[in-house]
């Protein structure tokens, strides 16, 4: 269950979740939230996500996702993987 702050964050950026039915948006998983924001959010949105969830938790979700399988890794853009791998190695350890 997402916190009220995360639900508000999702609501504020609901355009990034255009393919998710409106009544299901508040129920999205943290993994899906991280994937969507890192792929499609701007820097301000990404920093907000870091403050809400924590940069270490975002990094954990990111690395878990890209190492679990090639299919899950394929959910991220190649440039997103490269950029956030560098960012998280520097700031999240």
Segments making up each domain of the chain, as ranges? 4-91
Residue 23, CB-side half-sphere exposure with 13 Å CA sphere: 0
Q: What is residue 42's predicted lDDT score, i.e. its pLDDT?
A: 97
Q: What is residue 70's predicted lDDT score, i.e. its pLDDT?
A: 77
Query: What are the structure tokens assigned to 45, written together?
Result: 């949105």
Which residue is listed with tokens 């129920």? 27
Dump pLDDT digits (tens) for 33-90.
999 999 999 999 999 999 999 999 999 999 999 998 777 778 899 999 999 999 999 9
Contacts with 33 (C-beta within 8 Å, 6 or more apart), sequence order:
6, 10, 49, 53
Query: What are the structure tokens assigned to 86, written together?
Result: 């560098």
């Amino acid at each position: 269950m997402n916190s009220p702050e995360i639900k508000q964050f999702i609501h504020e950026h609901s355009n990034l979740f255009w393919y998710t039915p409106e009544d299901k948006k508040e129920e999205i998983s943290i993994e899906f939230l991280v994937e969507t924001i890192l792929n499609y959010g701007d820097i301000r949105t990404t920093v907000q996500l870091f403050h809400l969830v924590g940069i270490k938790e975002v990094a954990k979700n990111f690395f878990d996702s890209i190492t679990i399988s090639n299919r899950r890794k394929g959910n991220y853009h190649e440039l997103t993987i490269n950029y956030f791998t560098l960012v998280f190695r520097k700031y999240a350890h």
